[in-house]
Structures are given as structure tokens and as C-alpha cells.
Amino acid sequence: MEHVVETEELAIDGGTPVRDETLAYGGQTIEEEDVEAVAETLRSDWLTTGPTVEAFEEEFADFVGTEEAVAVSNGTAALHAAMHAIGIGPGDEVIVPTLTFAATANSVVFEGGTPVFADVDPETLLLDPQSVKERITEDTKAVVGVDYVGQPCRYDALREISDAHDLVLLDDACHATGGTYKGKPVGSLADLNTFSFHPVKNMTTGEGGIVTTNNSEWADQMRRFRNHGITSTHHERAEKGSWYYEVANPGRNYRLTDFQCALGISQLQKLPGWVERRRETAHAYDEAFAPIEAVEPVTQRDDSICAYHLYVIQLELNQLRGDREQIFNALQAEGIGVNVHYIPVHYHPYYRDYFGTEEGLCPTAEAAYERIITLPVFPRMTDEDIEDVSEAVRKVVNVYEH
């Protein structure tokens, strides 16, 4: 039922908040079968580098429709392993959108490469293919799409550009687990696809990540890389009764444990239902905010199923008396755990100091950053939680509108 809010005193000004306890912007769902799956593995002989890791990799690869999946310790490790597999090194440039978490660009730096920041589409806030074209040089080796909020990038256009310039195409799909693009699952859209299983993501292994690909050579390289560069796992050596191993190239300790993978297998079975609940929440927000001219949700294309890791609105600041910070603080005071995703990466001091990035590099992303707010969306939210968020947005905007 539509609830019309009269102008009333905001909580930040001493009024009564919409909620007494703050609703977080995201959170995990752990059910009894998840606990049992982990407990069963904890009682087994293998806590790490064991058979459950391979079982999780096989199930995830099957879920997204790729030949290979390589489980690692977190989403950043997934990106780093992917950069290592394709041979990024000093002098290589990798095009990334600036409106992303810093790990997308940091992973390039880890291997000695140079991230080149591209702009985003003003409506979807996804990587703009035209901006990618403008950034390509003779040193460009790869392009990374970021499936912002859970909506896949325009991979047909990115694939055409990548193929024309002999570039590797990567999908930072950490927001989009369970989504699709033109009927194809996220995870099968690029040459390498990386995921995060942090608790606020669409499924969790506590911490964790995975890379999917159809390139077996890259997969083998990433499996060595996650295990110090060693050519075999302890489980493989145990099956052969051998102690001998070799280090092919220096690697990292980016392994994911068996009990985390057991949680991943259990969570993966429930992922489609959780994505559907996220989409129901997003559609409820869409309806609630449709009459509010000062609030514009990020545009969703018809050719994709958005997995809604995030629900992001853009404020029409010319219709408001306050700026984003004031609206943000007012919503927090109402008990809504809003967030901002993200500060453009080229704004961060490291990239300003070492790569010479500066304001004006990506004007669309920079303008969006001043307007965006992330609202809570996760499967455990009740209908009452959704209404509280909608009510708080209506209440705050009603006060701040001209």
C-alpha cells in the first residue's frame, strides 16, 4: 500500500527515525545445510588443498558454462591470478573503468602493469565501449569490464573491440554472480571471468573468489600461482605417494580451504533463488521511487538479468537543496545503512601520485560519483525492511526537495 509521507522532522534534526536499528546495505544468508556442509568437511581428513576444492570448481564451472574454474582466497586474488595468467608485466597497459573497487586496478599494478582508466555510460554506469576505444595504444594488452551493481557490461561491443586489437577481455563479475547477458550466464562472457564470495556478495564462502575460463593453459597457470608456483598440490602428491614437487615460477598463497569450498557448493544451490529475491527487492524500490523526480535508479537494459549485488540511485541534485553527503547522512540517521560505490579509482592518492591521474580524466564517472548512493539489498531483507528503506528515501527527499 502506498504510504504518502507528509513533511516531517528528519531524525538528523531531532525527529523520530524510520528504524530504531540500522539496516545494513548487505549481508550473508547462512542456513542449516550450509553449517552442516562445513561441519562435515571439518570432520574430514582434508581442510585445505583437498577434494572439496576441485568439487566446488567443477560445480561452479558447470553453473556458468565454462570448461575451467580456479578457486582462490578472495576476489582480489582472482583478479591478480587472471593478470598473472595472461602475462601482464611492466610496460603493459590494461583498460579498466574508474567506477569500481580499487582491486580491479590494483591487480594490474601487482604484476607491474599500468591501469588505464576509462569512463562509464551515464545511465548504466558500466564501462563505455567508446571510451575504451579512445584509450587503446600499442601497449594495451587487455580490457576489464566491471559488471557494476550486478548488470553485465555490453560484452558484444567489448568483444568486437578486443578482437579487433588482439586484446584479452576480462570480466570483473564480482557483483554479478547469477546474472545473464543475452541469455548467457555471467562467467562465460569474457576470456577470463572473476568472482568474489565476500559475505556481502550474492553467495559467500566467508572470503573467497574464483576465476572461470575456457583456456586450460591459463587455468593451470592460475592453479600454480595460487599455490606458491608449485606444480602439484599436496592432495595430488598424497594420491601418488610422493613427496617431490617443483616451483615453476614464484607464486602466492591464494588457496581456498576445503571447508570454504563446502560452503560454496551449498550456497551455489540456493543462488538462483537469492538472485530472484534481490530482483524482487529492486523492483519494489523501482516502483516506490518512480514518482520521485529527484531519485533516479541506475538504468537496467532489457538484454540482461541483473543480479543486484547493489541497488544504486543517482540523485538529481538540481532538484534538491542539499548535496549527496547531506542526503547520505540524513538516511543514515533514519536507520538505513546506505553506502557509496565507488570513489573513482583515479581519485585515490596512490594513482594520483604514481600514475599522474587527475580530476577531469573520466568526467561522466566523476559526475556520477557526486550523485550516487547505495541502498540495502540482500535476500534476508523482509518486505517491512524494503518499505522502511523506501519510506526513509521518500521522507528525506521530501524535506530536501526545492
Cα–Cα distance, 343 to 374 (Å, whole number): 12
Q: Same domain for 163 and 309?
A: no
Annotation says 141 is catalytic: no
Q: Same domain for 366 and 226?
A: no
Out of 221, 246, 267, a domain closes at 267
235 pLDDT above the threshold of 80: no
1 pLDDT above the threshold of 50: no
Q: Out of 133, 141, 182, 201, which one is annotated catalytic?
A: 201
Cα–Cα distance, 376 to 281 (Å, whole number): 9
Out of 239, 267, 295, a domain closes at 267
Q: Same domain for 234 and 358?
A: no
260 pLDDT above the threshold of 70: yes
Q: Same domain for 263 and 306?
A: no
Q: Same domain for 249 and 283?
A: no
**Tally of structural domains, the chain:** 2
Nearest residue to 142 (alpha-carbon basis) of 79, 54, 225, 53: 79
Q: Name the pairing type of β-strands 209-213 and 192-196.
A: antiparallel
Beta bridge partners of residue 257, listed in sequence order: 48
Encode pLDDT of 34-82 as tens digits: 999 999 999 999 999 999 999 999 999 999 999 999 999 999 999 999 9
The confidence band for 5, taking pLDDT boundaries of 50, 70 and 90, is very low
Has residue 67 been placed in a domain?
yes
Residue type, 354: Y
Structure-derived torsion over alpha carbons of residues 295, 300, 302, 306, reported in degrees to the nearest 10: -140
Measured on CA atoms in the order 18, 22, 27, 30, is the torsion positive or negative?
negative
Encode pLDDT of 264-296 as tens digits: 999 999 999 999 999 999 999 999 999 999 999
pLDDT of residue 384: 98
Q: Same domain for 292 and 336?
A: yes
Residue 224: phi, psi to the nearest 5? -70, -40
Has residue 6 been placed in a domain?
no
Q: What is the DSSP letter of 307?
A: -
| For range 99-111, the mean pLDDT | 98
Has residue 330 been placed in a domain?
yes
**CATH number of the domain to which 366 belongs:** 3.90.1150.10
Encode pLDDT of 170-224 as tens digits: 999 999 999 999 999 999 999 999 999 999 999 999 999 999 999 999 999 999 9
SS3 content of the chain, % helix, strand, coil (to 5): 40, 15, 40
**What's the whole-model pTM score?**
0.95
Q: Do residues 297 and 402 make contact, with C-beta atoms less than 8 angstroms apart?
A: no
**CATH number of the domain to which 108 belongs:** 3.40.640.10
Q: How many helices (H) and strands (E) does the chain have?
A: 13, 13
Q: Same domain for 123 and 137?
A: yes
Q: Same domain for 280 and 223?
A: no
pLDDT of residue 2: 43
- Judged by phi (left if over 0) then psi (alpha if -120 to 50, else beta), residue 206 lies in left
Angle between helices 32-42 and 258-289 (to 10 degrees): 160
Encode pLDDT of 370-393 as tens digits: 999 999 999 999 999 999 999 999
6 pLDDT above the threshold of 90: no
Out of 267, 290, 305, a domain closes at 267
| For range 296-302, the mean pLDDT | 97
Q: Same domain for 229 and 285?
A: no
Structural domain range at position 308: 11-28+272-400
| For range 287-315, the mean pLDDT | 98
